[in-house]
Amino acid sequence: MAQTGSVLERNGLGVTARRDAWWLQPLLVFLGLTAFGVYAMWAAWQGNNYLYQAHGAYYLSPFYSPDLHVLFGIQLPFSFAFLILWIPLGFRATCYYYRKAYYRSYFLDPPACAVGEPKGRCYRGERAFPFILQNFHRYFFYLATLLLLSLWYDAVRSFFFRDPAGQLHFGVGVGSLVLLFNVLTLSAFTLGCNSLRHLVGGRLDCFSCSAAARTRHKLWSGVSLLNLKHAPWAWISLFAVGFADLYVRLCAMGVWHDVRIF
Amino acid sequence: MNEKYETHEHDVIVIGAGGAGLRAAIECSALGAKTALICKSLLGKAHTVMAEGGVAAALAHVDAQDSWRTHFQDTLFGGKYLNNWRMAELHAREAPERVRELERWGAVFDRTPDGKILQRAFGGHTYRRLAHVGDRTGLELIRTLQDKGVHQGIDVFMECTITKLLKDGERVCGAFGYWRETGRFVVYKAKAVVLATGGIGKCYKITSNSWESTGDGHALGYEAGAELVDMEFVQFHPTGMVWPPGVMGLLVTEAVRGEGGILRNNQGERFMEKYDPKRMDLSTRDVVARAIYTEVKEGRGSPHGGCFLDISHRKAPYIRQKLPSMYHQFKELADVDITKEPMEVGPTSHYTMGGIKVDADTGASTVPGLYAAGECTGGVNGANRLGGNSLSDLLVFGRRAGAGAAEYANRAAPPRIDQTQVENAAGEMIGFFDRPGAADPYKLHVDLQNTMQNLAGIFREEKDLTMAVARLEDLQRRAAHVGVVEGQRMYNPGWHLCRDLHNMLICSQAIVRAALLRKESRGAHSRLDFPKYDEYWGEHNIVIKKEPDGMKVQARPVVKVAELIPLVDEKKAKETK
Amino acid sequence: MSIRTFSVWRGDKNGGRFVEYQVEVEEGMVVLDAIHQIQRTQAHDLACRWNCKAAKCGSCSAEVNGRPRLMCKTRLDALPVGEMVRIQPLQTFPIIRDLVTDVSWNYQVNKKIPPFAPRPDASWVMLQQDVNRAQEFRKCIECFLCQNVCHVLREHERKSEFFGPRFFVRIASLQMHPMDSLDRLPLLKNEAGLGLCNITKCCTEVCPEDIHITDNAIIPLKERVVDRYYDPIQILLRKIKGEKASHAGGK
Ligand SMILES: Cc1cc2nc3c(=O)[nH]c(=O)nc-3n(C[C@H](O)[C@H](O)[C@H](O)COP(=O)(O)OP(=O)(O)OC[C@H]3O[C@@H](n4cnc5c(N)ncnc54)[C@H](O)[C@@H]3O)c2cc1C
Ligand code: SF4
Ligand code: SF4
Ligand code: FES
Ligand code: FES
């Protein structure tokens, strides 16, 4: 009988007996979120090329929706996207899934399950500032829902093309599909929100005790279904929104040509 | 008094924290007795946690015709009329109330469409009768009782094994044990003791039972002078897993058949048609176990020596909802998807009908101050237990034994501990450490299990049983030499096993001797040399008692209740038709 | 049949080391089978807990190759072949001996949770949809793997201010029981330390009963606490309607 090893250790960054690639997932999440963050900042900073109007199309980048320019005619010394983007940013930052993702990959708290954390930090969880603010997630949800309505408007609008005479006609361009995909995934993400799940029915203890409760149970079940896949929707919608902006931007810049399918 | 060892004093101590022990302790403490609950494992891990299918109670939620009378009749028919009638009566009458009480304590059973406790069909029960929670009913039961108990102020002593009951003259006055964690000894002083230590499964090689089922209560009671009854009846559950080897014996709940599962041999025949055309797959366990055994023996078994049990004709989501742990058990341990393929199953030693003989109403044994409840008692089940009747037994008689003990403690004089008994008990445990060249307890255990499996299993006969008697005597001699080969007193399973062997040997001997005496086949006891019912034995139980010159085995008439004779006759007439 | 090497932590609170054992393995064997074989043939005094061998009792928790697992549910053929299997006790609880740890803290926590208390007017008519949530939580077998892996306990050692996922599950089962009358939200917010959980989901990852601990228990409880203590609109509405605080968040 050979003998190996010593007394068990714990504490200290990365200390673990795990032998699988536990670091892979936090690393991918870190890279994914960082890449998106950098792109989104850049795109918001631009303040132009967010609207594609050639060939009668009307594609608005989701980063710039609603179009405050058109709506209120405001002129700012900086891109108006910053007036909008804090909402989805706050929504995602306080989302229960993203919290898990960035606590793990940015704060290493913990980096992965049964893996050690950096030593000597004072851990306060979500009980103290700043993370106590996570409790206001539902307010971001309310705001994000308003934005979602605006995105739905944009998506529907993108299916109508203006002919030279100024008349609107139904049509389908690749860009319309991109915007539709964007708003569908965003809806799937938003409607799977844990706060929504609570508000529509989760807060009840009895689902059958009144007619209202029975209806709310149905809603709750629906939200629960989406909620099961909240993490995938979070990523798909993140990708979709970034891609939608990129698509509109490239078209608007003339780098890419939108194709009318119908 | 010199208190050399850690000592605790209570009105009542309950040994065993399965369903029976917990229910007893709750009742005791509710009646104002200072109560201790002692168990070998952590709280909530007792065998009861593994019970799957359900608890039998004539609630009549699903089949409105059901009543305690039918439940009583079914239990007696299942037990081949050897049951203690009064126990069977109390059991059938009180089970519904005990189940409702669990619900009021927070248990969450599966529901009927109109919001009541749902009940499912089970072998031998005329109506759909088993209240259940998927296939984890035991967990629900134990967790509910556990939470009720700890918040009621019961003192719990976990991972403490009792090795001896202490006596003050005729009466029991406490118990001696050791802490598994430290190996230190501990003395419990009490006015009354309730035994609720569960079964004896570890005497057999293929068993659904855990390491705890070493018949401690049977042996403790026997050594304290209590009578044991019906020890020859060991239930082989027809459906245990047969593959892979590591999980051989692991239970496949009868609920699989309750939900429509079908048994087939390797020819694809639904062979229960031959053995019990009326009840088919849901016949009583003794019949089904023998049927499978016979099919395998005659060459119609499955590849790993069992038969096939198929539920895949039911819809996959239904199976996953109703039998979730079976689904996972097969998926993870045997790579079998039960929603698509049949399972392979074979008989496994599961439950002992026999045990300490108690008074039906109070759970009192024949020793003053000693009470018992649950699987370690005998009587309610007779020659064969119906599925689901154990969990209800735990609740009904756990409560009664608890009340009986509390009531006794109320009027009993303070206990006096005899220090020499304590020293003897301590000496026995220490003794395992100073046996140079000690024999290996694990090896002895394997030999014991093989002996019981091969010579006192499903089918028995004179020559096997006499051989078993001789082998057990030999094992008994060898047991005097087992000892600790390695390690100290702290959490040393090898040491613990040395003592457990002692208990298993007592139980094995009781089983074999009773089996030898019962010259007939009845319920779970099948003699190849006496394949028929015998009139005399149909009226007699076998009682075992420790005498100065060893184990005494004798027949005793079945305990009947005059008012119930019409009910029993009605059932007999119906079944012979 | 083949031979595999197991490296098992042996020792007690004063220290210990990994000891290697060679075990003949058969098809379908689980880690607990190997431990039993070592116990039977090579180390009679190897301490480990087990009962059911069927993932029903939650006794055999340990860390296999660094991952918290039930030993009776961990198939050897699911572990990398040709590599040593390393088994160590749960890290978050004090060692007793070998693979056995002192989990008594959990039992003390459980005692602090007010038990089920039915409403006086309870009808006991409950539909399946009303009990589904509680039933999921009541599947818990108290293996304490979630308690072991939770970094609040494991890394930050906050046993005095944090009940841990197992007991959030338990509180959820009571709080969402249609017939229960008690209000455990103040307990959750304060003594139980729900706010210390940062929903990083390791508990859910290890739960052998597949309980969605975070999504179905912890997050809904956090939302109920928000209703009561943080959401200004809810608080205002309660003021206007003159409802008692205990009506928020269920009950
Ligand atoms: C897999 C399986 C499934 C089953 N399914 C069902 C079912 O669906 N329906 C049904 O009705 N029945 C079922 N049964 C049978 C039923 O579960 C048992 O008969 C019943 O749980 C026994 O309960 P008990 O309280 O008597 O003892 P147990 O639950 O076995 O508890 C024994 C207690 O005694 C303690 N103990 C033992 N010896 C000592 C000692 N020396 N010192 C201190 N403490 C000691 C143990 O630690 C334990 O706490 C099933 C059994 C098995 C094995
Ligand atoms: S989700 Fe919360 S309770 Fe679960 S492991 Fe993470 S911090 Fe602990
Ligand atoms: S919640 Fe899951 S992981 Fe936690 S103790 Fe219960 S069964 Fe184990
Ligand atoms: S929880 Fe993710 S959006 Fe609300
Ligand atoms: S032994 Fe019961 S869970 Fe593993």
Distances (CA, A) of B339 to A90, B315, B321: 45, 7, 11
Residue range B327-333: mean pLDDT, rounded: 91
Evaluate if residue A8 carries a pLDDT over 70. Answer: no
Evaluate if residue B516 carries a pLDDT over 70. Answer: yes
Evaluate if residue A74 carries a pLDDT over 90. Answer: no
Q: What is the pLDDT of residue C251?
A: 52
- Interface touch A127/C196, C-beta < 8 Å: yes
Q: Give residue A212's domain range.
A: 24-253
CA distance B80 to B99: 26
Q: What is the pLDDT of residue A6?
A: 39
Q: Virtual CA dihedral for B509, B510, B513, B517, nearest 10 degrees? A: -170
Evaluate if residue C245 carries a pLDDT over 80. Answer: no
Evaluate if residue C249 carries a pLDDT over 70. Answer: no
Residue range B215-221: mean pLDDT, rounded: 98
Question: Would residue A200 count as lying in a domain?
Answer: yes
- Interface touch C199/A100, C-beta < 8 Å: yes
Q: What are phi and psi of B289, to 5 degrees?
A: -60, -45
Q: Residue B9 forms beta bridges with which residues?
A: B189
* Closest Cα to atom 4 of ligand 4: A193
Please give the distance, rounded to the nearest whole angstrom, from the Cα atom of residue C197 to the centre of ligand 2: 5
Residue range A62-90: mean pLDDT, rounded: 91
How many domains is chain A built from?
A: 1
Q: What is the pLDDT of residue B452?
A: 96
CA distance A221 to A1: 56
Question: Would residue A259 count as lying in a domain?
Answer: no
Q: What angle do CA A28, A29, A31 make, to 5 degrees?
A: 65
Q: Is B10 part of the annotated catalytic residue set?
A: no
The one catalytic residue in B23, B71, B125, B237 is B237
CA distance B514 to B465: 10
User: Would you say B42 and C49 are in contact if contact means Cβ atoms under 8 Å apart?
Assistant: yes
Residue range B88-101: mean pLDDT, rounded: 98
pLDDT grade for C28, boundaries at 50, 70 and 90: confident
Mean of per-residue pLDDT scores for chain B: 95
Evaluate if residue A69 carries a pLDDT over 90. Answer: no
pLDDT grade for B2, boundaries at 50, 70 and 90: very low
Q: Which residue has the tokens 């304060």?
A: C190
Question: Would residue A5 count as lying in a domain?
Answer: no
Q: Give the length of chain A.
A: 262
Evaluate if residue A199 carries a pLDDT over 70. Answer: yes
Please give the distance, rounded to the nearest whole angstrom, from the Cα atom of residue C73 to the centre of ligand 3: 14
Residue range B225-245: mean pLDDT, rounded: 94
Of A6, A8, A203, the CB nearest to C224: A203
Q: B8 Cβ partners below 8 Å, 6+ apart?
A: B36, B155, B157, B186, B187, B188, B189
pLDDT grade for A3, boundaries at 50, 70 and 90: very low
Going B453 to B455 to B457 to B458, the CA torsion angle's sign is: positive
Chains meeting C at 3+ CB pairs closer than 8 A? Answer: A, B
C173-199 pLDDT, tens per residue? Answer: 999 999 999 999 999 999 999 999 999
Q: What is the pLDDT of residue B75?
A: 97
Question: Would residue A49 count as lying in a domain?
Answer: yes
User: Would you say B24 and B405 are in contact if contact means Cβ atoms under 8 Å apart?
Assistant: yes
A19-46 pLDDT, tens per residue? Answer: 999 999 999 999 999 999 999 999 999 9
Residue range B153-161: mean pLDDT, rounded: 96
Closest chain A C-alpha to C35 CA, distance in angstroms: 15
What residue ranges define each of the domains in chain C, with the CATH number in brackets?
Answer: 2-101 (3.10.20.30), 104-247 (1.10.1060.10)
Which of A192-201, B55-64, C77-86, C100-109 shows the lowest per-residue confidence on average (mean pLDDT)? C77-86
pLDDT over 90 percentage in chain B: 90
Q: What is the pLDDT of residue B321?
A: 87
Residue of A nearest to C91 (CA): A10
pLDDT grade for B123, boundaries at 50, 70 and 90: confident
Question: Would residue A34 count as lying in a domain?
Answer: yes
Of B135 and B15, which is predicted with more confidence? B15
Question: Would residue A258 count as lying in a domain?
Answer: no
CA distance C91 to C97: 12
B413-445 pLDDT, tens per residue? Answer: 999 999 999 999 999 999 999 888 889 999 999
Evaluate if residue A117 carries a pLDDT over 60. Answer: yes
Evaluate if residue A5 carries a pLDDT over 50. Answer: no
Q: Is B257 part of the annotated catalytic residue set?
A: yes
Of B116, B244, B494, the CB nearest to C44: B494
Q: What is the pLDDT of residue B485?
A: 83
Evaluate if residue B197 carries a pLDDT over 50. Answer: yes
Q: Which residues of C touch B50 (CB under 8 A)?
A: 51-52, 54, 56-57
What residue ranges define each of the domains in chain B, with the CATH number in brackets?
Answer: 6-234+351-411 (3.50.50.60), 237-350 (3.90.700.10), 427-557 (1.20.58.100)
Residue range B517-537: mean pLDDT, rounded: 95
- Rounded to the nearest angstrom, the gap between the alpha carbon of residue A83 and the centroid of all alpha carbons in its chain is 17
B251-305 pLDDT, tens per residue? Answer: 998 889 989 999 999 999 999 999 999 989 999 888 999 999 999 999 999 999 8
Please give the distance, rounded to the nearest whole angstrom, from the Cα atom of residue A100 to the centre of ligand 2: 10
Residue range C75-104: mean pLDDT, rounded: 94
Atom index in ligand 4 nearest the CA of residue A230 equals: 2
Closest-CA residue to B49 (of C140, C206, C204, C61) = C140
pLDDT grade for A10, boundaries at 50, 70 and 90: low
Rg (CA), chain A: 23
